[in-house]
């Protein structure tokens, strides 16, 4: 029920979208632009497809046609690229492969009709939002796991050089973090970097006392 309640807000948000349409100047583009403007979107058009994206774009409509399937635009591979809707005229293996390669989240078939444009916008925005949420959760987990590994490595360094057991090594890291008002991960990184630097020569045992 919570997901269904989000639908009206998704539709309302469409009115503030900045949309770019990369499509030849034909009836399909005219109908697409007109319908997007009726919805309330701010629309920019361009053809041929430029090598750089315009600034502040929320969603992309891109024509995928037999004569432009070799898409090597750098902006297709940038991080946090706006979601993309493919406008297709044909259904053949080459077109389908191109649609998959460019990462289209929805397909709008030609000839363009007013029906389907609103739905493609809503679905694309929703899918893109969920993918971004998953990416953020994945980044947090990756950061957490990295921190766990760093702390484990720092504990091993202290255990070897201070003859501590695992609990006492971690307590030392935590106490220093509290004293310095930094995270245990930051203390661990400092220990690891100091150990790597000093491993090239004679290690001063005092470096592991975590004083100061």
Model confidence pLDDT, tens digit, residues 104-162:
999 999 888 888 888 899 888 888 888 888 888 888 888 888 889 999 999 998 888 88
Q: How many helices (H) and strands (E) does the chain have?
A: 7, 5
Q: Computed from CA positions of residues 56, 60, 65, 68, in that sequence, does the dihedral angle turn out positive or negative?
A: positive
Q: Which residue from 90, 85, 92 is spatially nearest to 110, judged by alpha carbons?
A: 90
> Which tokens go with 133?
């949420």
pLDDT beyond 90 at 13: no
Task: Please give the Cα distance from 155 to 173 (Å, whole number).
Answer: 8
Q: Are strands 84-88 and 59-64 parallel, antiparallel or unpaired?
A: parallel
Q: What percent of the chain has pLDDT over 70?
A: 88
pLDDT of res. 200:
54
Residue with the larger pLDDT of the pair 6 and 176? 176
pLDDT of res. 211:
57
Q: Which residue from 8, 10, 36, 6 is spatially nearest to 21, judged by alpha carbons?
A: 36
Map out the domains of the chain with their CATH numbers.
Answer: 2-130 (3.40.50.2300), 145-209 (1.10.10.10)
pLDDT of res. 27:
92
Give the DSSP letter of residue 17: -
What residues are paired with 45 via a beta bridge? 21
Indicate the average pLDDT of the chain: 84
pLDDT of res. 202:
46
pLDDT beyond 80 at 204: no
What residues are paired with 137 via a beta bridge? none
The pTM score is 0.68
């Amino acid at each position: 029920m919570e997901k269904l309640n989000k639908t009206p807000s998704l539709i309302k948000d469409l009115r503030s979208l900045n949309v770019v349409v990369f499509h030849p100047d034909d009836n399909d583009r005219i109908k697409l632009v007109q319908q997007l403007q009726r919805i309330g979107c701010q629309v920019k058009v361009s053809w041929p497809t430029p090598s750089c994206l315009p600034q502040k774009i929320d969603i992309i409509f891109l024509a995928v046609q037999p004569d432009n399937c070799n898409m090597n635009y750098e902006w297709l591979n940038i991080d946090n690229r706006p979601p993309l809707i493919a406008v297709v005229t044909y259904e053949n293996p080459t077109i389908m492969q191109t649609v998959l390669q460019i990462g289209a989240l929805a397909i709008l078939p030609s000839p363009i009709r007013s029906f389907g444009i609103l739905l493609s916008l809503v679905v694309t925005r929703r899918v893109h939002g969920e993918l971004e949420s998953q990416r953020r959760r994945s980044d947090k987990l990756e950061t957490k796991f990295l921190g766990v590994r760093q702390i484990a490595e720092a504990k091993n360094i202290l255990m070897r050089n201070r003859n501590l057991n695992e609990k006492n090594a971690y307590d030392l890291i935590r106490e220093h973090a509290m004293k310095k008002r930094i995270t245990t991960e930051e203390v661990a990184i400092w220990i690891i970097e100091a150990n790597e630097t000093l491993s090239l020569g004679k290690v001063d045992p005092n470096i592991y006392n975590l004083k100061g």
